[in-house]
Amino acid sequence: MTDLQTMRNTTPKQYYVYLMSNVSRTLYVGVTNNLERRVSEHRAGTFQGFTSRYKMRMLVYYEMFDDILVAIAREKQIKGWLRSKKIAIIEAVNPNWRDLSEDW
């Protein structure tokens, strides 16, 4: 195994559960291994569907994980919550619903 292959296999991966919103504060919950790329795809409307139709352009919340299975479980947990609980976790860290990716 080359040094580069060893680095790839030992470099910890990062996974993100995130919430996107629009000006009407409609919410979308997703999971990704590359938050910058995924937010960019949402903004560009790369994929047809809910996020494109409702113009989900603002990253309002995210959590990081080292394990994809834990991240997926958290995504499913948040998706099962009432809207009020989703809003509560957003407002606990982002009370003004600022786009957390605006400085990227």
For the segment 48-101, what is each residue's pLDDT rounded down to a tens digit? 899 999 999 999 999 999 999 999 999 999 999 999 999 999 999 999 999 999
Confidence of residue 5 (pLDDT cuts 50, 70, 90): low
Q: Does the 13-93 domain belong in CATH 3.30.365.10? A: no
The predicted pLDDT at position 54 comes to: 94
User: pTM for this structure?
Assistant: 0.87
In angstroms, rounded to a whole number, what is the distance separating the alpha carbons of residues 7 and 30? 28
The predicted pLDDT at position 47 comes to: 86
Tokens of 68: 């994809």
Tokens of 83: 């809207």
